[in-house]
Amino acid sequence: MKVLLITNIIAPYRIPVWNYIARADDFDFKIFFMKESEYNREWKIALKEIDFKYKILSGLHLPIKKLSWEVHLNFSIWSELKKENPDIVILGGYDAPTIWLALLWTKLRRKKVVFWIGSTLFSSKKNKGIIGRIKRFFIKLGDSFIAYGQSAKEYLLFLGAKKEMIFTGCNVCDQDFFRNGTNNYRERPEFFEERKTYPLVLFLFVGRLIRGKGIIELLRALYETKDKNWGLIIIGNGPLCSEIKKFIEKNDLKQKIWLFGFKQKDELIRYYALADIFLFPSLQEPYGIVISEALTSGLFCLSSKYAGASYDLIQEGINGCLIDPKNPEDLKTKIELVIKKIMEKPWNRNEISNSIKKFTSEYYGQKVIEAVKKFL
């Protein structure tokens, strides 16, 4: 049996999951990528870590920067599918012309289709009218479904997918890498000296500096907090970088906020090790894999109610709490509360790290295998 996954790019955090699927004994697994990476991604892809078969298709790629999205049209998909002739096709989403062509091919040849979906009711702006009808049409064409997490599962049910055909994984990081890396970094002599250079309570933000990540809302809330024993490290690049710098200068926050730009996976270890609390104020987010990186690294998380990962990973008061970044008062109150709590008694980093230990790459990969095995 041949199983083919068609997805947009080589996302480094998904490589362990894909490697696990490729080790399945029941079928032959291969991936078609529409492009190696996208215009708004700065990842260095460790091709040496890849243990699965794959091909990067030729095609046209149109960046839509207003939406922080890239449209892929790989005309070769039809001939490549004909050549590969898979029995089961897994489609990563439904928002690319390449996916539409692949879906048409599978239906004409009566192949089984598995949709791998991350969208949620919070992250999808249009669920009614013609757009809503088109989404429901796509979902009706699926034979089984893989959901990023519980919120994605709820969205699939909303669009008409059958409950028994949805296999729910958990879209998380390589936990061993972040857990071992931060633990080891915190044992270095230079770590203690470096930590002394920052304020008593150190927050961390990791993500693209775009409007939808809620970074401006976050800065305003921090500036208005009563307790000033805080600092913030910002990791990431994006169009809001100059606006953030202006905010820092205008409000005299140069000694409290540090912008370190984009960092690769191995460079992130240092900042996760240094920080105490992770801030994830996204206004709209299908999932939010950085939440799993932060929790695995032992950071208490203030996580947006608009992020899918919050409902799988956050245990209220134990490893984090939900915030509403669209509500300035709620955001400010939660920040003040965690500053007060950590000053009184810090959270146990090991307990936070272990709180999501069951959500491994193998756990996620097994759900994909189960979705495929429905048809073996």
Domain harbouring 293, CATH code: 3.40.50.2000
Task: Provide the whole-model pTM.
Answer: 0.93
Please indicate, yes or no, whether residues 22 and 163 belong to a single structural domain of this protein: yes
Question: What pLDDT is stored for residue 150 in this prediction?
Answer: 95
Q: In 275-358, which residue ranges form alpha helices assigned H by DSSP?
A: 289-296, 310-313, 328-344, 349-354
Please indicate, yes or no, whether residues 16 and 121 belong to a single structural domain of this protein: yes
First-last CA distance in the chain: 8
Report how far residue 295's alpha carbon sits from residue 185's, in angstroms, rounded to the nearest whole number: 16
Please indicate, yes or no, whether residues 151 and 269 belong to a single structural domain of this protein: no
Q: Which of 66, 73, 12 is nearest to 37 (CA)?
A: 12
Question: What pLDDT is stored for residue 245 in this prediction?
Answer: 97
Pair of tokens at residue 198: 């920052």
pLDDT band at 117 (very low <50, low <70, confident <90, very high): very high
Please indicate, yes or no, whether residues 196 and 89 belong to a single structural domain of this protein: no
Total domains present in the chain: 2
Please indicate, yes or no, whether residues 299 and 366 belong to a single structural domain of this protein: no
Please indicate, yes or no, whether residues 46 and 115 belong to a single structural domain of this protein: yes
Burial class (CB in 10 A: 0-12, 13-18, 19+), 242: exposed
Please indicate, yes or no, whether residues 314 and 339 belong to a single structural domain of this protein: yes
Least confident range of 66-75, 218-227, 268-277, 319-328: 66-75
Structure confidence by residue, pLDDT tens digits, 222-243: 999 988 889 999 999 999 999 9
Please indicate, yes or no, whether residues 33 and 180 belong to a single structural domain of this protein: no
Please indicate, yes or no, whether residues 150 and 223 belong to a single structural domain of this protein: no
Integer-rounded Cα Rg, in Å, for the chain is: 21
∠ CA 101-165-116 to the nearest 5 degrees? 40
Question: What pLDDT is stored for residue 66 in this prediction?
Answer: 75
Please indicate, yes or no, whether residues 163 and 281 belong to a single structural domain of this protein: no
Please indicate, yes or no, whether residues 321 and 182 belong to a single structural domain of this protein: yes
Structure confidence by residue, pLDDT tens digits, 168-201: 999 899 999 999 999 999 999 999 999 999 999 9
Task: Judge whether residue 68 has pLDDT over 80.
Answer: no
Provide the domain limits for residue 260: 175-354
pLDDT band at 31 (very low <50, low <70, confident <90, very high): very high
Please indicate, yes or no, whether residues 130 and 195 belong to a single structural domain of this protein: no
